[in-house]
Amino acid sequence: MEDLRKPSGWFFLLLGVILTGVSFTGATAPLLEINLNLYTGLFMLLFGGALLWLAKQES
Name the residue with higher pLDDT: 1 or 51: 51
CA distances from 20 to 1, 5, 11, 47, 54 (A): 32, 22, 14, 14, 23
Domain ranges of the chain: 5-58
Name the residue with higher pLDDT: 31 or 45: 45
Write out pLDDT tens, residues 37-50. Answer: 899 999 999 999 99
- Whole-number pLDDT of residue 29: 74
- Whole-number pLDDT of residue 50: 96
| pTM: predicted TM-score of the whole model, two decimal places | 0.85
